[in-house]
Amino acid sequence: MKRNAYLLLLLVVATFTGCKKEKIEYSNEFEKSAKVWTAFKNASNNSYSYTTNTGSWTGYSSETTLTIVNGKIIGRTFISKGFKDNSNTVVVLEQWQEDESSLNTHQSGASLLTLDQVYELAKNELLLKRDNAKVSFEAKNNGLISSAGYIENGCQDDCFMGINIKSISKYVP
């Protein structure tokens, strides 16, 4: 009887500790990129800028650049473009710049996130395995995150839920 109880306990322990199911898609690629991020963060003294971008089939596009010094956001710039009056002419629709004292005073533009926060968002929300969506991750910024998010099944236009990062560079005052 003791032997059966021991085997049952061993089976239960093995079940919960043996084959740990990955909860995020692209976990290997993400972990590699997270290590590259840690090295970049240390080499840059956690001072850098990065640019996010959006685009639509309608011709609308935008870019937001965030500047981070010693782990603190000190600036954000934004520009959006689109077609003018049903023509083929692309015009600037909105453009602004925020400094440390005016951060988050505009509604448009990417959220105020450091890359530490972007990696956490990707890991804990954007890259979660989903039955109803296709998840994607890319690290095309010299191994640093360039895209993380998902598209729900059946969605046709402008469906990406996540972040696209066009570039990441060390901060140069």
**SS3 category, 154:** coil
pLDDT value of residue 57: 87
Distance separating alpha carbons of residues 171 and 46, to the nearest angstrom: 9
User: Model-level pTM greater than 0.75?
Assistant: yes
DSSP string, 65-121: EEEEETTEEEEEEEEEEEESTTSS-EEEEEEEEEEGGGTT--SSS-----HHHHHHH
User: For residue 59, what are the contacts with CB-CB under 8 A and spacing of at least 6?
Assistant: 82, 83, 90
What is the SS3 assignment for 10-36? HHHHHHHHCCCCCCECCHHHHHHHHHH
SS3 content of the chain, % helix, strand, coil (to 5): 30, 40, 35
Spans of all domains in the chain: 22-58+65-76+98-170
pLDDT value of residue 157: 85
pLDDT value of residue 22: 55
CB 112 within 8 A of CB 103: yes
Distance separating alpha carbons of residues 34 and 119, to the nearest angstrom: 7
pLDDT value of residue 111: 96
CB 3 within 8 A of CB 10: no
Q: Look up tokens 């473009």; give the residue.
A: 81
pLDDT value of residue 98: 98
pLDDT tens digits for the chain (173 residues)?
433 333 333 333 333 333 344 588 889 999 999 999 999 999 999 999 999 999 998 889 999 999 999 999 999 999 999 998 878 889 999 999 999 999 999 999 999 999 999 999 999 999 999 999 999 999 999 999 999 999 999 998 889 999 999 999 999 88
Taking Cα atoms as reference points, which of 131, 138, 142 lies closest to residue 163? Answer: 138
